[in-house]
Amino acid sequence: MWNYTVLESVGLLALFVFWALILNELWIIFYTCYLGHVLGHSIKPRKLGKWAVITGATDGIGRAYAEELASIGLNIVLISRSRDKLQSVAADIENRHHVETRIIDVDFTKEAEIYDRIARDINGLEIGVLINNVGMSYKYPEYLDQIPDSSGFAQRVVNCNVVSVTRMCIMVLGQMAERKKGFILNVASCSAVVPTPLMSLYSSTKAFVYKFSEDLALEYKPFGIRVQCVLPCFVATKMSGIKNSSIMAPCPADFARGTMKSWGLEISSAGYWFHKLQWIYYRRLNQISPSSMANVTYNIMMGLRKRAFDRRAQQQQRQRLQQEKSSVETNNPPVVPVNRYSLARVERDLNEMWPTLAEIPRYGITLHAQTGF
């Protein structure tokens, strides 16, 4: 009755396995983003302790987590650089959610001494949740050695994205282990797992956060501490430069609310449901043709770099015209012209090393010039 050739049978089996894998992934997304929470399997942050500590808490994703946790009754320690912003966000949260807040103004790009201050300020608080959200990225995709003050920049990125996560975990793990409960969420990025040339330093620091979280999760599971890592694609924040939210780039509130449903149900994922679908797509593309994935991302990054240079050139042009106009009036000397070398180099890279952007299939990916990807 089933009269298939060997080749046909192998083909059908491969098709069956392919769809079984896809369905399994869709089931995991459905469970972690919706069903698990509805069934009460996700963690209840309120039961873990009275306080939540959030780094990078005055804007974007960090602020959204602060709002969500305050809305369910947790007191919040907000940490970021600007004291004014901290005071205003803290007052807003206290007024709207009737919880206590504390603020700590530190710059995570700085060296180790800031951690003594944070440790002093959170001493004695029962910390149930730590969210390591703070992170810094490139202003635009760039070759590592071409970034202005590249050594200093590299140190700041490592301090902000790697040292902060490690030191903040060390600070709270002891007291969480004593109480045998606690939850740590580390915010990485999907750039940790997809090729991200021209942002290699940022993506590698996020790969550290990913690996560190996965191993820490296993290490501290016996102590009742859950560690989770979220690796988002785009979220509409200042860092990504995306102003209008969409299904691909949700607003921070939707992102935070969505990912909180999966707390305790998985160790690492993209977090938000649509980003999880994007992940399936990236992973499959990477498996089927790693070189096209690499070429596509390389060209997208080069395009973003070119756009950033074009914008800068336009700005300089405008400034020059402005200054020329005022120099006529005030007899000032003319300003230095635009640096053509770097612009020419971008053109050469784009037009000679690789096919033009128009020839590269975009696979539905829309990227933005200033990127937290």
Ligand X SMILES: NC(=O)c1ccc[n+]([C@@H]2O[C@H](COP(=O)([O-])OP(=O)(O)OC[C@H]3O[C@@H](n4cnc5c(N)ncnc54)[C@H](OP(=O)(O)O)[C@@H]3O)[C@@H](O)[C@H]2O)c1
CB of 124 to ligand X, least distance (A): 23
Write the secondary structure of 179-240 as one string of H (helix), E (strand) and C (coil). HCCEEEEEECCHHHCCCCCCCHHHHHHHHHHHHHHHHHHHHHHHHCEEEEEECCCCCCCCCC
CB atoms within 10 A of CB 80: 24
In angstroms, give the least distance from the CB of 236 to ligand X: 7
Strand partners, 55: 79
Closer of 74 and 229 to ligand X (Cβ) = 229
DSSP state of 269: E
- Rounded least distance, CB 8 to ligand X, Å: 44
Tokens of 298: 């390389």
- Tell me whether residue 33 or residue 36 sits nearer to ligand X (CB atom): 33
Residue with Cβ nearer ligand X (36 or 190):
190
Going by C-alpha positions, the residue among 184, 191, 127 that lies closest to residue 157 is 191
**Active-site annotation, residues:** 202
- Alpha-carbon gap, residue 254 to 33, rounded angstroms: 12
Q: State how far Cα 110 lies from the chain centre.
A: 20
Rounded distance, CA 287 to CA 283, Å?
Answer: 6
CB-nearer residue toward ligand X: 33 or 66: 66
Of 44 and 238, nearer to ligand X (C-beta) is 238
Measured from the CB atom, the residue of 99 and 136 that comes closer to ligand X is 136
In the complex, the smallest distance separating the C-beta of residue 309 from ligand X, rounded to whole angstroms, is 22
For the purposes of burial, counting CB atoms within 10 Å of the CB of 20, is it exposed (0-12), middle (13-18) or buried (19 or more)? exposed
Phi and psi torsions of 276, nearest 5°:
-65, -40
Closest distance between ligand X and the C-beta of residue 206, in Å?
7
User: Which positions lie near ligand X, rule CB under 6 A?
Assistant: 56-62, 80-82, 85, 107-109, 133-137, 160, 187, 189, 232, 234-235, 237-240, 372-373
For 368, phi and psi rounded to 5 degrees? -125, 155
* Shortest Å, Cβ 298 to ligand X: 19
What DSSP line would sit under 89-143, residue for residue?
HHHHHHHHH---EEEEE--TTS-THHHHHHHHHHTT--EEEEEE------SS---
Burial class (CB in 10 A: 0-12, 13-18, 19+), 122: buried
